[in-house]
């Protein structure tokens, strides 16, 4: 293959971010003529047509089935609400497409398993949209850990907190229904911090003990403020975890955490040092090394620049900063290069499936009030 032809399904919030990434990445990564924005699907043909024009896609359709079966499409990029991931992915796999899906992979771990196994069986490449791991700053964190610069990791604290539903008068939306979203904060945000934890440590979560709450149990119907509808999934959740490498961990997630706008944060403690990060300052990584002279110890703020992974393509000066969509551009660059060079792409559907199992284990544990081995849920 010498050119990758993209079929995009869904153009809401994250679909638009994908479109911006597709637009700039040929220039950023010198991939002109390697990407074709081939086909775009939306809920109806009018919207599909409108978005195709806006996003620079050649063709459009109001029926995603037409897209996933189209011979001119190499990659099916799924940016729909969660409940559609499974059907689209399975159908795309059936047609031998490469599948690129936003998180969470599915509404439940068992659906995710089905998708993962289907892709595995079909031998198609897959990619999950865990874009925060593509941030040069978090790539740097992983590099520092992998180098052993902070010693052996003994503790991970991570959060993905936001406040998009903090206001009780915000109307209910699809995120709050199990049949449309699956889990609540865990699925929408927690997926990112679970992925980040495992990405950074290079070790999977093995055991979890969770707690969770639906704090705002009812929300107004979007069309009738006086009609209150039940919120079906959790607003906030926490978990103690153990990694396979023995490290302890604590994870927290919330969609009602006032003031946290992009609250993906982590503190990774090793035997010789510590890393600290918040995505709200996405260009800064704080690094502490215990072997520094005792009167010159402290957290050093590394500001990402061209000396760090995947920054230089955007700008050759340090500290000038890349943005949210640029992370997506790196992610899609990985996809394109993986396809063109027939290399492994990461994180794939196995990771998406595994993370679904971790998240569901946390939710189950919170209900059963006990520790759970992720292997109880993850059989594949």
Interaction residues for a second copy, span 264-303 (CB under 8 A)? 269-274, 279-284, 287-290, 294-303
**Rounded-to-integer distance, Cα 17 and Cα 7, Å:** 15
Shortest distance, position 145 Cβ to a second copy, whole Å: 13
Q: Is 138 in the site for a second copy (CB under 8 A)?
A: no
- For the chain, the residue count is 380
Which is nearer to a second copy, 225 or 370 (by Cβ)? 370
CA-CA distances (angstroms) from residue 110 to 276, 322, 352? Answer: 34, 37, 12
Which is nearer to a second copy, 96 or 168 (by Cβ)? 168
Shortest distance, position 80 Cβ to a second copy, whole Å: 17
The 309-348 site mask, x for binding a second copy (CB under 8 A), equals -----xxxxxxxxxxxxx----------------------
| Residues 1-20, interacting with a second copy (CB under 8 A) | 13, 16-17, 19-20
**Rounded-to-integer distance, Cα 354 and Cα 192, Å:** 13
Q: Is 367 in the site for a second copy (CB under 8 A)?
A: no
Q: Which residue has the tokens 């969470």?
A: 104
Q: Which residue has the tokens 């593509």?
A: 134
Q: Is 40 in the site for a second copy (CB under 8 A)?
A: no
**Rounded-to-integer distance, Cα 140 and Cα 146, Å:** 10
213: β partners: 236
- Record the tokens describing residue 110, joined without a space: 């068992």
Q: Is 223 in the site for a second copy (CB under 8 A)?
A: no
- Record the tokens describing residue 340, joined without a space: 């063109």
Q: Is 236 in the site for a second copy (CB under 8 A)?
A: yes
| Residues 165-204, interacting with a second copy (CB under 8 A) | 166-168
Selected from 121, 223, 369, 379, the binder of a second copy by CB under 8 A is: 369
Q: What is the DSSP string of 160-203?
A: EE--TT-STTSPP-GGG-HHHHSSSHIIIIIHHHHHHHHHHHTS
**Rounded-to-integer distance, Cα 169 and Cα 237, Å:** 21
Could you tell me how many residues of this chain bind a second copy (CB under 8 A)?
95
CA-CA distances (angstroms) from residue 374 to 120, 193, 356, 364? Answer: 21, 16, 10, 10
| Residues 45-84, interacting with a second copy (CB under 8 A) | 53-56
Shortest distance, position 309 Cβ to a second copy, whole Å: 10
Which is nearer to a second copy, 44 or 370 (by Cβ)? 370
Shortest distance, position 113 Cβ to a second copy, whole Å: 26
- Record the tokens describing residue 53, joined without a space: 């024009």
Selected from 261, 375, 376, 380, the binder of a second copy by CB under 8 A is: 261
Selected from 370, 375, 376, 380, the binder of a second copy by CB under 8 A is: 370
Closest CA to 18 of 117, 101, 137: 101
Which value, in Å, is the radius of gyration of the alpha carbons in the chain? 21
Selected from 97, 103, 192, 260, the binder of a second copy by CB under 8 A is: 260
């Amino acid at each position: 293959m010498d050119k990758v032809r993209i079929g995009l399904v869904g153009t809401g919030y994250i679909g638009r971010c994908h479109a911006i990434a597709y637009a700039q990445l040929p220039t950023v990564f010198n991939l002109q003529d390697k990407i074709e924005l081939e086909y775009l699907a939306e809920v109806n043909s009018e919207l599909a047509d409108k978005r195709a024009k806006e996003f620079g896609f050649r063709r459009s359709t109001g029926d995603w089935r037409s897209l996933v079966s189209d011979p001119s499409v190499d990659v099916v990029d799924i940016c729909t609400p969660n409940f559609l991931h499974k059907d689209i992915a399975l159908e795309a796999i059936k047609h031998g497409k490469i599948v690129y899906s936003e998180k969470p992979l599915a509404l439940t771990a068992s659906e995710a398993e089905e998708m993962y196994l289907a892709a595995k069986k079909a031998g198609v490449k897959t990619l999950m949209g865990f874009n925060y791991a593509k941030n040069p700053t978090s790539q740097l964190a992983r590099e520092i850990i992998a180098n052993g610069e902070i010693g052996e990791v003994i503790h991970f604290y991570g959060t993905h907190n936001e406040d998009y539903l903090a206001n009780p008068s915000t109307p209910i939306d699809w995120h709050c229904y199990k049949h449309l979203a699956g889990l609540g904060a865990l699925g929408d945000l927690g997926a990112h911090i679970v992925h980040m934890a495992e990405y950074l440590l290079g070790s999977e979560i093995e055991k979890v003990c969770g707690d969770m709450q639906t704090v705002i149990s009812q929300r107004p119907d979007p069309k009738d403020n006086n009609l209150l509808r039940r919120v079906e999934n959790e607003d906030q959740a926490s978990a103690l975890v153990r990694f396979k490498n023995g490290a302890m961990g604590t994870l927290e997630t919330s969609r009602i955490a006032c003031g946290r706008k992009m609250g993906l944060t982590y503190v990774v403690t090793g035997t010789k040092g510590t890393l600290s990060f918040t995505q709200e300052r996405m260009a800064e990584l704080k690094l502490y090394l215990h072997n520094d002279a005792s009167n010159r110890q402290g957290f050093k703020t590394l500001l990402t620049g061209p000396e760090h992974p995947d920054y230089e393509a955007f700008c050759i000066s340090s500290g000038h900063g890349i943005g949210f969509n640029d992370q997506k551009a790196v992610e899609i660059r990985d996809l394109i290069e993986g396809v063109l060079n027939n290399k492994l792409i990461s994180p794939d559907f196995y990771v998406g499936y595994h993370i679904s199992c971790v998240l569901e284990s946390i939710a189950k544990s919170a209900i059963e009030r006990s520790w759970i081995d992720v292997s109880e849920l993850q059989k594949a």
